[in-house]
């Protein structure tokens, strides 16, 4: 589980169905899935990622009360599930699609139309390297995502009573032995190999048998060692080994917060003192708090109709032309 950032959205989807767990390559187009080109490096910057999150929320793919949750989910995908290349490619496609929701949804494998009554927990399957799942939380949309676009394969994972199609390096069984590979921890979870990118968390794969990434320093008594901030470095004892996490190198724009003794947003404009700042509208501008800083996005300049507040719950998002009947 994540240890530095409070990931508040989509952790259930990470272990069950839904587009966060989906993958695939696609030899033929299925349910609107984008077909991959040859695997290429995509340099998705922090600002590019935020913009992609604005577009996805507008098109009802990853709509949360706080835009920052989308960034946190991206970090979970690559640091704890080894899918950075895949989601950088998909989100790069999202930004190139401008404000056209049909195209944006295709970038992340969503069908253009809702398939009423056809999408449930039994739907998950692999067709070659295309992983088919249902985003039940988002309204029952079929999802087919190209794993090969991130250099991965599709494998069915048993999530306890149901299956989900996952992007991994392959399948596994009870004979699989946890191991360190390229400094990453590989374990077998529900019949699919799970990739835990230890270096992305500033940790290491030291003893694969415990199934966790570990600290990089000398041994330490975890029970009697409390985390402390040393400037922007979070010093703690992780799995009985001393660890020094440079918060400025944690994904996003972070600092070591002496009040929470965690890596938190470096800004002080919002999300201060435990108060959560939700997305809001200022006319046609979406206002969001990301890593403690207020950021504004002109929805019309991004190709959308304007900004609107959520009709239920909290938050706001850019308003898009509907693409479904």
**Spatial separation of the C-alpha atoms in residues 287 and 298, rounded to whole Å:** 9
Clarify whether residues 42 and 190 are in a common domain: yes
With beta carbons less than 8 A apart as the criterion, state whether 126 and 156 touch: yes
Mean pLDDT, consecutive 10-residue segments, the chain of 325 residues?
A: 35 34 33 43 88 94 90 86 90 91 91 66 89 80 90 90 90 95 93 93 92 90 80 90 92 90 92 85 97 96 95 92 69
Q: Which of 179, 175, 169, 167 lies closest to 211, judged by CA? A: 179
Instruction: Count up the domains in the chain and report the number.
Output: 2
With beta carbons less than 8 A apart as the criterion, state whether 4 and 262 touch: yes
88 φ/ψ angles, rounded to the nearest 5 degrees: -65, -40
> pLDDT value at position 291?
93
In a domain, 297, yes or no: yes
**Spatial separation of the C-alpha atoms in residues 63 and 70, rounded to whole Å:** 8
> pLDDT value at position 116?
62
**Spatial separation of the C-alpha atoms in residues 203 and 217, rounded to whole Å:** 9
Range of the domain at 232: 222-265
**Spatial separation of the C-alpha atoms in residues 153 and 168, rounded to whole Å:** 5
> pLDDT value at position 221?
79
- Find the length of the chain: 325
Name the DSSP class of 220.
-
Cβ-proximal residues to 68 (8 Å cutoff; 6+ apart), any chain: 265, 271, 288, 289, 290, 291
| pTM of the entire predicted model | 0.82
**Spatial separation of the C-alpha atoms in residues 276 and 176, rounded to whole Å:** 43
In a domain, 1, yes or no: no
**Spatial separation of the C-alpha atoms in residues 38 and 176, rounded to whole Å:** 30
Clarify whether residues 310 and 198 are in a common domain: yes
Q: Which of 317, 284, 251 lies closest to 65, judged by CA? A: 317
**Spatial separation of the C-alpha atoms in residues 230 and 262, rounded to whole Å:** 11
In a domain, 2, yes or no: no
**Spatial separation of the C-alpha atoms in residues 106 and 70, rounded to whole Å:** 18
> pLDDT value at position 78?
81
**Spatial separation of the C-alpha atoms in residues 216 and 221, rounded to whole Å:** 14
**Spatial separation of the C-alpha atoms in residues 296 and 29, rounded to whole Å:** 36
Clarify whether residues 31 and 99 are in a common domain: yes
For the sheet with 280-282, list strands across it.
Answer: 280-282, 285-290, 293-298
> pLDDT value at position 122?
80
Clarify whether residues 234 and 134 are in a common domain: no
Clarify whether residues 183 and 261 are in a common domain: no
Clarify whether residues 93 and 233 are in a common domain: no
């Amino acid at each position: 589980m994540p240890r530095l950032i409070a990931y508040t959205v989509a952790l259930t989807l990470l272990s069950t169905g839904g587009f966060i767990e989906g993958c695939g390559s696609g030899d033929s187009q299925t349910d609107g899935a984008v077909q991959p080109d040859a695997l290429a490096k995509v340099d998705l910057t922090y600002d590019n990622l935020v913009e992609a999150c604005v577009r996805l929320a507008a098109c009802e793919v990853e709509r949360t009360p706080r835009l920052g949750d989308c960034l946190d989910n991206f970090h979970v995908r690559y640091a704890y599930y080894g899918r950075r290349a895949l989601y950088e490619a998909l989100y790069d496609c999202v930004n190139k699609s401008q404000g056209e929701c049909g195209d944006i949804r295709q970038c992340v494998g969503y069908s253009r139309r809702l398939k009423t009554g056809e999408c449930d927990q039994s739907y998950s399957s692999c067709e070659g390297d295309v992983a088919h799942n249902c985003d039940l939380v988002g309204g029952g949309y079929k999802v087919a995502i190209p794993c090969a676009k991130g250099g991965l394969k599709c494998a069915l994972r048993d999530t306890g009573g149901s299956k989900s199609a996952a992007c991994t390096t392959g399948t596994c069984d009870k004979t699989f032995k946890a191991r360190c590979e390229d400094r990453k921890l590989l374990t077998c979870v529900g019949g699919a190999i799970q990739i835990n990118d230890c270096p992305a968390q500033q940790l290491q794969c030291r003893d694969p048998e415990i199934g966790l990434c570990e600290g990089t320093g000398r041994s330490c008594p975890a029970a009697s060692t409390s985390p402390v901030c040393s400037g922007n470095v979070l010093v703690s004892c992780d799995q009985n080994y001393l660890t020094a996490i440079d918060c400025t190198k944690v994904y996003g724009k972070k600092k070591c917060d002496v009040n929470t003794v965690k890596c938190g947003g470096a800004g002080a404009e919002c999300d201060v003192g435990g108060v959560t700042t939700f997305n809001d509208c200022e006319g046609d501008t979406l206002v969001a708090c990301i890593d403690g800083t207020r950021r504004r996005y002109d929805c019309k300049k991004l190709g959308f109709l304007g900004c609107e507040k959520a009709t239920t719950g909290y938050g706001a998002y850019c308003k898009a032309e509907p693409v479904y009947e």
